[in-house]
Structure 1
Amino acid sequence: MHKSEVARRDISNDVLEIEDHAEVALDPEQRALLASDVSWLEYRAEFRRQMIQQGFLKHPWRSIFEADMIFTLIGHKWLQGEILTVKQVATYFEAFTSDVTITRHIDDMVASGTLVRTPDPKDRRRLLLMPTQRLFEIGRIFLQARKEIARRHGYVYDPARASAGE
């Protein structure tokens, strides 16, 4: 157990009163992270509305949060030189959702022009998920927004400090 974790049996079920909001045991960095997450949710909802209104996506997908996770995984792995299969993506998300739901999301992504299913030349039974330029344009917009939201809440990219564990 991490030193900052509390054993589950020690956590109170007492209702918190709104007047006590400043007393909740979250440090300023944790509060900033929470505020950053809420800012991201607000941005994400508005971004989806804009993408649909402007016709940027050919087909809107079911759950934006599951779709974001799938896009993130496929894009990140591709940037690292790894092409994922439908089965690999389903395995990553098996704790969150079913294979059928993942397949439906991928169907939506193919229809929206962000992914292409391509048979693996080494094993034609396997389907590789190839990102399109459209996926990375959406990703670039998303990541720029995430950077700006993080900065508004006090976070700065500092790889030297991160590698030192600070």
Structure 2
Amino acid sequence: MGDDDNKVTSEEIGASPAVTFNLDDCTIDAQERAALGIDVAYVQWRADFRRTVIAANVLNRPWRSVFEADMMFSIVAHRWLAGRAITHKELATYFEIFVTEATVSRHLDDMEESGMIVRQTDPDDRRRIFLLPTRRLETIGHGYLQARIRMMREHGFVWNGGEAAGGAKAIDPARAPE
């Protein structure tokens, strides 16, 4: 999160009443509504995309969980673009609260079977398995990312040219700034 992000605490969540309220009383601002609109547009695009991938016979069956599979693809690709491939064990830590490591493994089996990722053993430590994106995932990623960019523009977000990241490569949030 950036410095200007307000983190919601567990106390604030617990203190918020579980009752509905009038739209006039809503405190969500225009930028937050735009982000919400992007999420909804993404879900709509994602459903169409899944139908396309299944029709192309890339998948033998739909992925087990849309959220989990999409996030795993994103994390694998993002870490690879940041110059540091992610390991199976590291990926599992992102999901440890709501899925087991076995579930992550089943997702990875599906992804490997569909040609989206490859597993590569670390030559320096044969116990570590790196997850690497394939050209197929890159092709799909272009479509996905272009759709996300279009949705963001439709909701008023503007690209700053990567100035915050130095324009060089993906920022790896798991690494401390150098």
TM-score w.r.t. structure 1 length? 0.84
Counterpart of 2:168 in structure 1 is: none
1:1-166 correspondence to structure 2 within 5 Å: 2=6, 7-8=12-13, 10-16=15-21, 20-57=22-59, 60-159=62-161
Q: How many residues align?
A: 160
Say if 1:118 and 1:8 are closer, same or farther in 2 by CA, change over 3 A: closer
Partner-residue secondary structure (3-state), 1:154: coil
- CA distance in structure 2 between the partners assigned to 1:25 and 1:140 by the alignment: 35
Cα distance in 2 for residues equivalent to 1:124 and 1:8: 44
- Tell me if structure 2 keeps the 8 A contact 1:113–1:132: yes
Q: Highest Rg: 1 or 2?
A: 1
- Across the aligned residues of Structure 1 and Structure 2, the Cα RMSD in angstroms comes to 2.5
Show structure 2 runs of 5+ residues with no match.
166-178
| Cα offset, 1:83, TM superposition | 1.5
What is the alpha-carbon distance in structure 1 between the residues aligned to residue 109 and residue 158 of structure 2? 37
Stretch deviating more after TM superposition (21-30 or 141-150): 21-30
In the alignment, residue 28 of structure 2 is paired with which amino acid?
Answer: L
CA change 1:123–1:162 in 2 (3 A) is closer
Deviation (angstroms), 1:160? 7.3
Structure 1 segments (4+ residues) deviating >2 Å: 1-16, 20-23, 54-60, 159-163
Q: CA deviation at 1:38?
A: 0.6
Instruction: Give the residue type in structure 2 aligned to 1:37.
Output: D
Q: Measured at CA, do residues 60 and 13 of structure 1 come closer, stay the same or move farther in structure 2, by a change above 3 Å?
A: closer
Preserved CA contact (<8 Å) 1:110 1:116: yes
Q: What are the Cα deviations for residues 12-32 of structure 1, in whole angstroms up to 9, with x where unaligned? A: 33333xxx3344121111111
- Going from structure 1 to structure 2, the CA distance change for 1:114 and 1:29 (only over 3 Å counts) comes to same
Cα 1:141–1:58 shift into 2, 3 Å? farther
Distance of 1:82 and 1:3 partners within structure 2: 28
Question: Per the alignment, in what secondary structure is the counterpart of residue 95 of structure 1?
Answer: coil
Determine what percentage of the aligned residue pairs are the same residue: 43
Structure 1 runs not aligned, ≥5 long: none
Contact 1:59 1:112 in 2 (8 A): no
Alpha-carbon distance in structure 2 between the residues aligned to 1:80 and 1:9:
37
